[in-house]
Amino acid sequence: MHSSPHPSRRTVLGAAAAASTALALGVPGTASAAAADRRRVRALIDRMSIEEKIGQLFVMRVYGHSATAPDPADVAANQAEIGVSNAAELIAKYHVGGIIYFAWAHNTRDPHQIADLSNGIQRSSRIPLLISTDQEHGAVARVGSPATLFPGGMALGAGGSTKDARRAAAVAGAELAAMGITQDYAPVADVNVNPANPVIGVRSFGADPKAVAALVAAQVEGYQRAGVVATAKHFPGHGDTGTDSHFELPIITHSLEEWRRLDAPPFRAAIAAGIDSIMTAHILVPALDDSGDPATLSRPILTGILREELGYDGVVVTDSLGMEGVRQKYGDDRVPVLALKAGADQLLNPPVLETAWQGVLSAVKSGELTEERLDESLTRILMLKARRGLLDDPYVTHRGVDRTVGTRGHLADADRITERTVTLLANRGALPLPAHRRLLVVGADPAAPSGTGGPPTAVLGAALTGLGHTAQVLSTGTAPAQATIDRAVAAARDKDAVVVATYNVTGASTGQIALVAALVATGVPVVQLAIRNPYDVARLDGVAASLAAYGWTDVSMRAAARVMAGEVRPTGKLPVAVPAADDPSRTLYPVGWGLRY
């Protein structure tokens, strides 16, 4: 692979990558580079047709591992959803300014393939694209092993270290950049103050606005110093909702004062840290805009508050326009128009691109949207591409992938950082495990974003076995039936201890609650490990010990095993409060709780 397949593009666009990068990192003496970038961007915009300008505002999904030769099933999916066969045809037809990668779209098989796909996409366009993904780590990771995977936001919140958060983002950003992914929809800046939040939860750093703000700023610095566009989300704050904006339109009932105290600080910190982009939320916040429009379509929120009150002049990207939270009031042709009128710049992943694209074109032709308004967003987007060096050389190499992605040093960083996040909530003498215990490992096995290690209980069992114990593994799922519970009880009877991995135990999780109760009744010590939200312990009685890992990827399971075995001491502290199951106003474990041994 070669690093610059189109020397002519370098001549046309200019060569100021080093100066642009220095400017992005705050290096003095680069004002002239910014002025040069602005002149270059203005020249690019002046040469664009209206259709090209509209296309540059869209960020779209596309199926396939290759930009020009995807598998037949992916060609069929592209034809059905977009009306093109591949990424190259998508770019040629719609002039999109960005593409988003998903694992389910078969974009992220392995690092070399991702790099080749990125290069193919860039070769297909006169103007380099921003290639994005949701690589938050933890519960949301589109690129799996052998890339380095870190714990997610709430785990880092439990670790409490801005140094660790910055390092995790720097490593993650360097690996994404090596694969040609230039915009990461991370970090999550939502303050999770609602234990029933179904969509944020462990994706958030925690419930303390000040602590979340510090970790958000650290991650912004880490990502962007690695050369990747960071994206704080979801503005104006998605942390206090009991509904999921993928399926409904949540309402945030915070007053203006509460919003400024609870939700605003992480976004203010991100802006102060020089955040490149901010993602909107499909939520109603009546205290900020009582029109009934979601924040993504709200001019009072995106322009009045984000632009004017908070002083942000970077790129605003919508959350996915295919989510139901933004589609309930207006048609798919109107949503992108209203988002632009509200103050958004990038229009992410509409359900039907042709409908959205034509909607914007019609609005321009009617005068509802002016060409000057398009140019305003285009300038922000292209200046961002210039600052990140994309207008000079957007290509990557296999050699760069091999030097960067999943290196021994990066994997060691992930292990060390994750060890510091595991939180010991309760311990009645069961931990650390005495040497050479006979263990049963049971519990939920949600699909792991990490990729290759297998189900979480299998990874946990293997890790405990590797530490000198003998672990039998029995996957019981998130809703075990009575027959499964009976098998677990039978397997527990000759064991020294049982480790049970629980996953989002609520009042409706009767199977998981019954499983733990049946195991406790055997008299064998039960160690409970929450592998997603840490609130599970409030619904489980009689366990001998309880820990929170905040995630179920391989790196989190290995760290939890080392803590259980006493290889490392637990140092994590709860970044959210755990309320009593029967009385949410009563706190069982406060923010900052964490036992030691």
Q: Are 269 and 321 within one domain?
A: yes
Nearest to 158, CA basis, from 560, 535, 580, 591: 591
Q: Give the pLDDT of residue 368.
A: 98
**Residues of the chain falling short of pLDDT 50:** 1-29, 450
Last residue within a domain, chosen from 378, 404, 430: 404
Last residue within a domain, chosen from 404, 436, 451: 404
Alpha-carbon dihedral 151, 155, 157, 158, rounded to 10 degrees: -140
Domain containing 429 equals: 422-589
Q: Give the pLDDT of residue 403.
A: 98
Q: Are 60 and 133 within one domain?
A: yes
Q: Are 393 and 427 within one domain?
A: no
Last residue within a domain, chosen from 372, 404, 436: 404
Q: Are 373 and 431 within one domain?
A: no
pTM of this structure: 0.93
φ/ψ (deg, to 5) at 288: -100, -30
Non-local CB neighbours of 79 within 8 Å, separated by 6+ positions: 85
SS (H, E, C) 334-402: CHHHHHHHHCCCEEECCCCHHHHHHHHHHHHHHCCCCHHHHHHHHHHHHHHHHHCCCCCCCCCCHHHHH
Q: Are 458 and 565 within one domain?
A: yes
Q: Give the pLDDT of residue 275.
A: 98
Instruction: Taking the CA atoms of 374, 379, 385 and 389 in sequence, report the sign of the dihedral they define.
Output: positive
Nearest to 266, CA basis, from 331, 213, 192: 213
Q: Give the pLDDT of residue 245.
A: 76
Q: Are 244 and 390 within one domain?
A: yes
- How does pLDDT run across 175-220, given as a tens digit for each residue? 999 999 999 999 999 999 999 888 899 999 999 999 999 999 999 9
Q: Give the pLDDT of residue 248.
A: 81
Residue reference for tokens 């592209």? 78
The 10 Å CB-count burial string (b at 16+, else e) for 194-233 is: bbebbbbbbbbbbbbbebbbbbbbbbbbbbbbbbbbbbbb
Alpha-carbon dihedral 293, 299, 302, 305, rounded to 10 degrees: -110
In sequence order, which ranges of 124-242 are alpha helices (DSSP H)?
153-159, 162-178, 209-225
Domain with residue 50: its CATH number is: 3.20.20.300
Q: Give the pLDDT of residue 577.
A: 97
Nearest to 200, CA basis, from 214, 186, 218: 186
The 10 Å CB-count burial string (b at 16+, else e) for 68-92 is: eebeeebbebbeebbebbbbbbbbe
Triad 91, 96, 97: Cα angle to 5°: 125
Non-local CB neighbours of 401 within 8 Å, separated by 6+ positions: 111, 112, 115, 178, 179
Asked if residue 415 belongs to a domain, the reply is: no
554 classed as catalytic:
no
Asked if residue 568 belongs to a domain, the reply is: yes
Asked if residue 595 belongs to a domain, the reply is: no
Domain with residue 490: its CATH number is: 3.40.50.1700
Contact 562/568 with Cβ under 8 angstroms?
yes
Q: Give the pLDDT of residue 591.
A: 97
Contact 243/250 with Cβ under 8 angstroms?
yes
Q: Which of 319, 392, 393, 536 is catalytic?
A: 319
Q: For 529, left (φ over 0), alpha (ψ -120 to 50), or beta?
A: beta
Q: Give the pLDDT of residue 453.
A: 67
Q: Give the pLDDT of residue 11.
A: 29
Q: How many domains, the chain?
A: 2
Q: For residues 115 and 511, what is the distance between their CA atoms, to the nearest angstrom?
A: 43
